[in-house]
Amino acid sequence: MLEKINSADIIRTTVRTNPFIHNWLSIDFFSNPQKTEVYGKVEDGILSSYIMIFIGYEQPIVIIYNYSSDMLDYINLVRGKRTVIWVFGEYEELFREMSKTEQVVLRDNVILFARKVNFYPGGKKLMLEDESAFNDFKAKVHWFKNSNFLAFKRYGSFEGEKLVAAALRRGEPNYCNIGGVYTLREYRGKGHAKKVVSLITRECLEMNLVPFLSVHSKNEPAIRAYKAIGFEEFSHFKWIKLNGFTAFDEET
């Protein structure tokens, strides 16, 4: 039987055991407590397994660590919806169960982290004077549609006065998560993502933080760019996408 998790200490301690995997748990639990529910099993003060349901976007998000069949009752909350389930650990049984009633697509993702940086100049930390350019950018990108400019530290790359690539940085002590990396399609292949990600990476390393990110394992151009910056692979996890398009289909 899973218990509902309300303890901030349990969440923080769990995240510290492996922030590359558990950081999304921390971000949503603390940033959106009214829209986030966590159920799991606690052993020695940490979550040995859990399911997190976040309903803050247009589509809900489910994150599962160490799946067990008693999580299915909670997953029923998103049946029939367009969403994505992130699975860390065994996924085959869950995929079979969801396939019985939902349209499902399985996707592999890779987590990468950096201990050094090859810097590509030209990126910029976005300031208040860049908010208009960011608003023009996010109007073209579903991923950023509901993004609050002030919610996270944001970075970008420009051509002239036009913002053509962007990403954000967030995290806890000792690490930083680079997310939302996106380059407008007509500007890809020009190194804009390298400029943005290498700037964030350098900033993180200068603060003695370990930067990491995740990307579709078949997105070879993005992976090549990240490895050129200095990233290396850490591990893989699965996305089980339900019932068609989600915001997560748009990425570099």
Residue ranges per domain, the chain?
3-108, 116-229
Strand 61-65, strand 83-88: pairing: parallel
Q: Say whether 116-229 and 3-108 share the same fold.
A: yes
Distance CA 148, CA 166 (A): 13
**What pLDDT was estimated at residue 247?**
57
The whole-angstrom separation of Cα 113 and Cα 106 is 23
Per-residue pLDDT at 252: 42
Q: How confident is the model at residue 148 (pLDDT cuts 50, 70, 90)?
A: low
What's the mean pLDDT in 87-98?
96
- CATH of 3-108, picked from 3.40.630, 3.40.50, 3.10.450, 3.30.310, is 3.40.630
Of 30, 79, 76, 25, give the one whose Cα is nearest residue 52: 25
Neighbours of 110 (CB within 10 A): 20
What is the pTM (predicted TM-score) of this model?
0.90
> Which pLDDT does position 146 carry in this prediction?
60
pLDDT for res 123: 97
What tens digit of pLDDT does each residue of 37-78 get?
999 999 999 999 999 998 866 678 899 999 999 999 998 888
Residue 239 has pLDDT above 60, yes or no: yes
Is the domain defined by 116-229 classed in CATH 3.40.630.30?
Answer: yes
Measured distance CA(50)–CA(41) in Å, rounded: 6
